[in-house]
Amino acid sequence: MAGLFAVAVLAAISLIKHAKASPTSNDDGYRHPPNGVCTDYCVEVSATSTGYVWGIPTFKDNYDVVEFLTEIARKDSAEVFHPLSGVKNVTDTYEVAATFCTPNKTKDGKEKVVLLATHGLGYDRRYWASSYKPEDYSFVDYALDKGYSVFFYDRVGTGKSEKLSGYVNQATNQIAIIGELAKSIRAGKYTGNLGKPNSIVLVGHSFGSYTSQALIASQPEIVEGVVLTGIAYPNATDLAPLSFKWILEAFASRIANQQSAQWHDRDTGYLNFGDIYAHVNTFFKQPNYEVPAAEYAQSIAQPFAAIEFLSLQALNLDSNSFKGAAMVTAGQYDLIVCGGECESTFSGGGAQAMFKGARTLDLYIHPGAGHGVNFGLNATGFYGQITKFLDANF
């Protein structure tokens, strides 16, 4: 009887999956914009990086996690808490799940500008291609409509990409991965029928922006442009990636695999938002969002590795050798990178101090928005500012 019931349930699930499938969406919620010609890839990336070694016991339970959060957040953390124990060179091969889309209606050769998009902590590549109201929340749909091609992928540890240990997977190996992806795209690999692009622009959100910037800081010739969203620098003399140590507290970070069986393939180094309110607290701002958009964002949220956050703090972001075009942007009320108010942060001169050699530097603060600009109201107004920057420079 129990067996029969299981079969019936399985059949029902497969029917539901089947019913959801359509030419424009995979059966698992990943979506191909209808205004593009899109191809999914599983890219094998070999990369070498110098990463940190986790230096304290791994987490058994959430008591260990909250102790970790407390030690990071305390005011004398740098002196008394040492969760990392030195560095190590790592060469590895990473499996990266990606989508490339080129517009099915081209515009003045702009399809030869490929946007290489890297999402931030808490998401996977669906941050760029929402299946909830894509006309309002999908950057990829918007960019395709304006004629640009987009390569977007799940960072390792998220979505359909390889899940490394959450005590290993960090900014440094991911910077190396962005670099290798950029080289492959340059060579015309993973670009469908487009062939070799004329230009590559790194587009990032948050952690994806910091890592994209760290790449051009070390390899300034690797791409022609950067669009860094959800990013800010404390001021012209303090260029640290993040000045707020309480961010993981605000996430109410909890061990993902103890929260839901959905995360069985992540070890205890992967933490997740404690609940939707913690997510909204750090990524959204009233009255600039609709609750269903926040619920969708929560439904696609992904755990992040504890060491990703730690490794971010030590990145060298000095991009003064970069000669391409740069856009630096955040939401007006971004709590994570601006402490909840970006006007004064942006007027601190941090971006100007980082991009002295750039041929253009556009700074833009999106009115009303929090950290997760792509899921706020008027996200298309934000995308419009990005494509305006691209139109002016490529």
Ligand X SMILES: *[C@@H]1O[C@H](CO)[C@@H](O)[C@H](O)[C@H]1NC(C)=O
Comparison of 77 and 259: residue with beta carbon closer to ligand X: 77
Q: How far apart are CA 139 and CA 116, in angstroms?
A: 12
Comparison of 20 and 105: residue with beta carbon closer to ligand X: 105
Smallest distance from the beta carbon of 366 to ligand X, in angstroms?
6
Which residues of this protein are in contact with ligand X, per CB under 6 A?
Answer: 34-35, 50, 87-89, 104-105, 234-235, 237-238, 243, 378, 381, 384-385
Smallest distance from the beta carbon of 47 to ligand X, in angstroms?
13
Smallest distance from the beta carbon of 104 to ligand X, in angstroms?
4
Smallest distance from the beta carbon of 164 to ligand X, in angstroms?
19
Q: How far apart are CA 296 and CA 280, in angstroms?
A: 11
Q: What is the token pair recorded at 78?
A: 């740098």
Number of residues in the chain: 394
Q: What is the token pair recorded at 364?
A: 């833009």
- Residues 6+ positions from 118 with CB-CB distance below 8 Å: 153, 155, 174, 178, 202, 203, 204, 205, 208, 209, 211, 212
Return the residue nearest ligand X (CB atom).
381
Q: How far apart are CA 25 and CA 129, in angstroms?
A: 11
Comparison of 35 and 374: residue with beta carbon closer to ligand X: 35
Comparison of 223 and 315: residue with beta carbon closer to ligand X: 315
Q: How far apart are CA 60 and CA 269, in angstroms?
A: 10
Smallest distance from the beta carbon of 323 to ligand X, in angstroms?
26
- Residues 6+ positions from 220 with CB-CB distance below 8 Å: 319, 321, 322, 323, 324, 357
Comparison of 83 and 339: residue with beta carbon closer to ligand X: 339
